[in-house]
Amino acid sequence: AQSVTQPDIHITVSEGASLELRCNYSYGATPYLFWYVQSPGQGLQLLLKYFSGDTLVQGIKGFEAEFKRSQSSFNLRKPSVHWSDAAEYFCAVGSGNTPLVFGKGTRLSVIA
Amino acid sequence: DSGVTQTPKHLITATGQRVTLRCSPRSGDLSVYWYQQSLDQGLQFLIQYYNGEERAKGNILERFSAQQFPDLHSELNLSSLELGDSALYFCASSGQANEKLFFGSGTQLSVL
């Protein structure tokens, strides 16, 4: 069965510091991989997605993620975090025929 | 704004009652998905409809049901409510392929 693990429940970083959020997945076929962000009281917004091709994908708000098949990982990165990036981040896996399965999320706090 | 509209935003009711959550997908999107978000379970897929027909079913209780109407809006019916049904219920829509989900802002259900 497909599953997503986000090992870090909560991460705190200083504004301007770099960020990496971890995501590991289990999926039987070539997966579609996604990162979503949820601000308080809001729905989920797509940051970026990987379907095929270049394993380093760029998203909105300066985020990027790298697909590593050998490690079954799809980690999210940002070189310099802004206070407005504080939110909950969700990694998800699926395909064209199956609904997305989400990880339990990582809450990001940003301190001055 | 994702283009997905959910009503109501908040719902407070008592155990044993029945409620209906409504979702209007983005213009042109044929697929509607329902997810339940709770602190302990994270985002759980409930059910998917495509152009009026059930496409996939996830961890949806028998007390819950859904449908998608000819105008493509969807309703999620929750009956015989229990305290544990308190959660944030999200609707999402996508185009023909399950490539990118657009989420509504959710309905916060509180069962007292």
The tens digit of pLDDT for each residue in B32-65 reads 999 999 988 889 999 999 999 999 999 899 999 9
Q: Residue B96 has what pLDDT?
A: 66
Tens-digit pLDDT profile for residues A31-72 = 899 999 999 888 899 999 998 888 999 999 999 999 999 999
Nearest CA in chain B to A96: B98
Given a cut of 70, whether residue B27 has pLDDT beyond it is yes
**B47 neighbors B56 (Cβ within 8 angstroms):** yes
Average pLDDT of chain A to the nearest whole number? 93
Closest by Cβ to A99, choosing from B48, B104, B106: B48
Separation CA B35–CA A56 (nearest Å): 29
Q: Residue A94 has what pLDDT?
A: 87
Average pLDDT of the residues in A94-108: 88
Closest by Cβ to B90, choosing from A43, A104, A105: A43
* Strand residue runs (E) in chain A: 3-5, 10-14, 19-21, 24-26, 32-38, 44-50, 56-58, 64-68, 73-78, 87-94, 101-102, 106-111
Average pLDDT of the residues in A7-32: 94
Is B109 within 8 Å of chain A by CB? Answer: no
Inter-chain contact A97–B103, Cβ cutoff 8 Å? no
Given a cut of 80, whether residue A20 has pLDDT beyond it is yes
Min distance B25 CA to chain A CA atoms (Å):
13
Min distance B16 CA to chain A CA atoms (Å):
27
Given a cut of 70, whether residue B97 has pLDDT beyond it is no
Closest by Cβ to A102, choosing from B43, B97, B106: B43
**A3-7 CB contacts, 8 Å cutoff, 24+ apart:** A3/A93, A3/A101, A4/A91, A4/A92, A4/A93, A4/A101, A4/A102, A4/A103, A5/A103, A6/A89, A6/A90, A6/A91, A6/A103, A6/A104, A6/A105, A6/A106
Is B2 within 8 Å of chain A by CB? Answer: yes
Nearest CA in chain B to A92: B43
Average pLDDT of the residues in B76-87: 97
Is B42 within 8 Å of chain A by CB? Answer: yes
Q: Residue A98 has what pLDDT?
A: 79
Residue of A44, A93, A104 to mutate, interface with B, max B Cβ within 10 Å: A44
